[in-house]
Amino acid sequence: MEYNHEHKSERISWIRAVVLGANDGIVSTASLIIAVAASQAAGDNLFTVGMAGLVAGAMSMAAGEYVSVSSQTDIEKAELALEKDHIQNNWALEVEELANIYHERGVELPLAKQVAVQLMEKDAIGSHARDELGITDLSQGNPLQAAIYSALSFSAGSSLPLLMILLVSQTALIPAVICISLLSLVVLGCISAHAGGASKTKGAIRVLLWGSLAMAVSMGVGSLFDVSI
């Protein structure tokens, strides 16, 4: 029997960006279309409204991801610079600190000190970054990559409810948007769970529940207004 030791953790950063972008694209654009359609707005304007939501949302997602990941990266760099200074000026104390971390994890203290010394002699910054600060290659994101993934996935998600405006009549638009959006959310939840090695059922139910709630609230708000735009 072949032993499969493959892990999915290296996919975490891009899975999060893609799922967040696609989920927001589906839910926000569908909710916007449903709210405007429920307000009895003129049908000719619905596509323009939806397209504006797609463009604005994609740019917002890209900017938000870039700023967020960049801020995280800046903080990590500052922490590593501070840790480097501590190591240069307090080597013995930093060895002791690292040894105590291993000891608290169950390693006997003499062995923990021996491991701490050997690891710091090989890679002092890397050892403290990983075991003291929790900074690893997997935790460090790429701001530009995250921004691109988010913008593209948001646009892809938004295009599904937006397409319904072109394919169905205005009287059937709300049910069509709801159906395609809920189906898309289920598929998205299953795909993202599969990519991450998690439960497909839990992934599908999670995005379906919150997506349904967002569209229901949007439809209720839109129904309160009987306007044409």
Q: What tens digit of pLDDT does each residue of 131-152 get?
A: 877 777 655 667 888 888 889 9
Decide: pTM greater than 0.75: no
Distance of alpha carbon 30 from alpha carbon 134, whole angstroms? 39
Length of the chain: 229
**How do residues 191-203 score in pLDDT, each as one tens digit?**
777 666 667 777 7
- CB 138 within 8 Å of CB 13: yes
With a cut of 70, say whether residue 74 has pLDDT above it.
yes
**How do residues 6-32 score in pLDDT, each as one tens digit?**
544 455 556 667 777 888 888 888 888
